């Protein structure tokens, strides 16, 4: 993997969020000059310039990205606290998910690395994808992702299409299915899967995601103009994942493991919720040398330990059934 050029000026829009904070910290550790931009960036616990900004206000994006070598627009608005964009709030979501990206592309005299999603291919794609599949998005979230990504690619930037990302996040305790299920298990509640739970998911630990973005910044010229799959390349069924979370919580607490139960899917479930999707990152790995390195069992255990520390400190509320 090519080393990041020391002093590279990287602006991380949404740099205080779950993924953004991990990426910004790793970039700083790799020697980049990092600017964290968010509504409330706080004081980053790593060397970085912190800028407070509402990026939907006119001119704020242009000011935020001024002087950057690379811009990472790691912003996301759903209105529901999950990856889903509610239909009633689609316009508000688009102001962030597409509008901020459009402003960044227009203002940046720099490379833009976009956070895409493997789900952009839509429910008709094969269960294992390699990046050659046509996009047929059928959710508002994926349509907005595709629209923003197209702006970035047409301007010579690149996109990293990620699967389910998980890991510790003190600012967003329910950010990611593993953390959310760990919180339920710590409260002694059963973990529920929709239907049989046999659909497979590709999961990527947030530290591996951060390394992928560092690799993308270092290889921005080589990746320009294309979307690249970033994943573990290995699937695990939702039922097996939740069982692993339950067992990790039991190992951490010394208490019996909570059960994993099947329930009827909710009305808001979509076709992609019931199909397997695993990403082959071979193309991205060939260009950058990146690969996922944290074993799933270790990543789950570390996430459980972090959630348990917050749970027992009282900094997060017990989960509700």
Average pLDDT over residues 72-94: 69
Q: What is the pLDDT of residues 200-246, one digit of tens each?
A: 999 999 999 999 999 999 999 999 999 999 999 999 999 999 999 99
Q: What is the pLDDT of residue 125?
A: 93
Note the pLDDT of residue 312: 72
Tokens found for residue 256: 């019996």
Catalogue all structural domains in the chain, each as residue range(s) with its CATH number: 9-166+204-233+279-294 (3.40.50.720)
Q: For residue range 248-284, what is the model confidence (pLDDT) as tens digits?
A: 999 999 999 999 999 999 888 887 888 899 999 999 9
Residues 6+ apart with CB under 8 A from 59: none
- Is the pLDDT assigned to residue 83 strictly greater than 90? no
* 167 band by pLDDT with thresholds 50, 70 and 90: very high
- Pick the closest to residue 51 from 41, 65, 62, 63 (CA basis): 41
């Amino acid at each position: 993997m090519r080393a990041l050029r020391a002093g590279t000026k990287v602006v991380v829009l949404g740099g205080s969020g779950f993924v953004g904070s991990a990426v910004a910290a790793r970039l700083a550790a790799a020697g980049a000059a990092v600017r964290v931009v968010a509504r409330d960036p706080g004081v980053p616990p790593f060397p970085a310039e912190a800028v407070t900004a509402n990026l939907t206000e006119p001119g704020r994006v242009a000011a935020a990205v001024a002087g950057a070598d690379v811009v990472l627009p790691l912003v996301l608005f759903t209105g529901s606290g999950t990856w889903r964009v509610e239909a009633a709030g689609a316009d508000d979501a688009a102001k962030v998910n597409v509008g901020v990206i459009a402003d960044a592309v227009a203002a940046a005299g720099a490379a833009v690395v976009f956070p895409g999603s493997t789900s952009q291919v839509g429910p008709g794609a094969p269960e294992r994808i390699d990046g050659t599949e046509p996009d047929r998005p059928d959710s508002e979230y994926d349509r907005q992702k595709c629209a923003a990504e197209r702006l970035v690619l047409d301007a010579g930037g690149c996109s990293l299409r990620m699967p389910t990302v998980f890991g510790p996040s003190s600012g967003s305790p329910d950010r990611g299915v593993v953390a959310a299920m760990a919180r339920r298990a710590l409260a002694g509640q059963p973990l529920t899967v929709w239907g049989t739970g046999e659909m497979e998911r590709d999961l990527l630990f947030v530290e591996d995601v951060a390394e992928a973005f560092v690799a993308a910044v270092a290889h921005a010229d080589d990746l320009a103009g294309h979307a690249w799959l970033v994943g573990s390349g290995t699937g695990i069924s939702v039922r097996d994942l939740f069982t692993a979370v339950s067992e990790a919580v039991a190992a951490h607490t010394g208490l019996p493991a909570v059960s994993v139960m099947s329930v009827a899917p909710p009305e808001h479930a979509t076709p992609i919720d019931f199909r397997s999707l695993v990403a082959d990152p071979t193309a991205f790995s060939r260009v950058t040398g990146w690969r996922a390195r944290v074993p799933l069992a270790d990543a789950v255990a570390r996430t459980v330990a972090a959630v348990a520390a917050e749970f027992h400190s009282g900094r997060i509320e017990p989960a509700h059934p």
